[in-house]
Copies of this chain bind each other. A is one copy, B any other.
Amino acid sequence: MREPTFLVLTALTDGPKHGYGIIRDVAELSDGRVKLLPGTLYAALDRLVAQGLVEHVRDDVIDGRMRRYYSLTGNGLRVLQAETARLRQLAGAAEARLRALKPRLT
């Protein structure tokens, strides 16, 4: 799973959000590094819904603007936990190698 998709799932852990809300939350979660583009977000949401990791819960109209809300499914949460563990393992393996390298420079 790629970074934008991972961040979409992460953004949905603390409750349902609509598209633009996800864009804002993802920017915050990534310290401003990842600014989701509409093409990326909506394609990712469609894909995640098709995979059963996210579901479309309701539509609201706030001040004349449409808001389409999405929520993480139980399976989506499990997949996110597995992906997080994968990232942790990956970062850990690289850090171990880098730590083993640096002491040689002293």
- A residues apposed to B, CB below 8 Å: 2-3, 6-7, 10, 13-14, 29-31, 33, 77, 80-81, 83-84, 86-91, 93-95, 97-98, 100-101
Q: Which of B2, B77, B87, B97 contacts A91 (CB 8 A)?
A: B87
Q: Which chain B positions have C-beta within 8 A of A93?
A: 10, 29-30
Q: Are B98 and A3 in contact (CB-based, < 8 A)? A: no
Known: A80-B98, A84-B94, A94-B6. A89 touches B30 (CB 8 A): yes
CB distance from A4 to the nearest CB of B (A): 11
Interface of A is mostly: helix
Give the CA-CA distance A86 to B95 in the complex, in Å: 12
